[in-house]
Amino acid sequence: MVPGFRPAGPADAVPRKGGPAASAVELPAHWLVREFLPQVELLRRAAVAITHGGNNSVTEALTSGVPMVLLPFSTDQFAGAAAVQNAGMGVALDPNAATAGELVSAIRLLLDGGIRLAAADLGAELRSAPGPELARAAMRAI
């Protein structure tokens, strides 16, 4: 079992409409569930990110050096998820068909030293030359 995960049961049903989803179930005390979370700050502390694979989430996770489980469901997310998986920085799953076991297996794979270290190395490289600095240098060279 991966810490923070357990098999789902009837008490885990979350309403699609109405109040906050977190109020529908009793969550472990160490879980943080809010309508808004500071994603960049949390990624700095994360071991794995689970995301739909949108451009911002992928960019922020890679910059933080965090491998991803990608569950794309729209437009460019499919291509992004495939690119991240092909680069060895994540695992793409079908959000409509993935089982809890497949999700746990993907997380375990990403926590493996090789993938985790490769993601950390990429993150360090991306942080060493942030985009705005590269853009400024390119503009000055014109």
Smallest CA-to-CA distance from 95 within 62, 123, 54, 134 is with: 54
Higher pLDDT, 18 or 60: 60
CA angle 84, 89, 95 (to 5 degrees): 60
The whole-model pTM stands at 0.73
Residue 6 has pLDDT above 70, yes or no: no
Match domain 36-140 to its CATH number in 3.30.450.40, 3.40.50.2000, 1.20.210.10, 1.20.1340.10.
3.40.50.2000
Instruction: Give the pLDDT band (50/70/90) at residue 19.
Output: very low
Q: What does the alpha-carbon distance between residue 26 and residue 126 come to, in Å, rounded to a whole number?
A: 39
pLDDT at 37: 81
3-state class of 70 per DSSP? Answer: strand
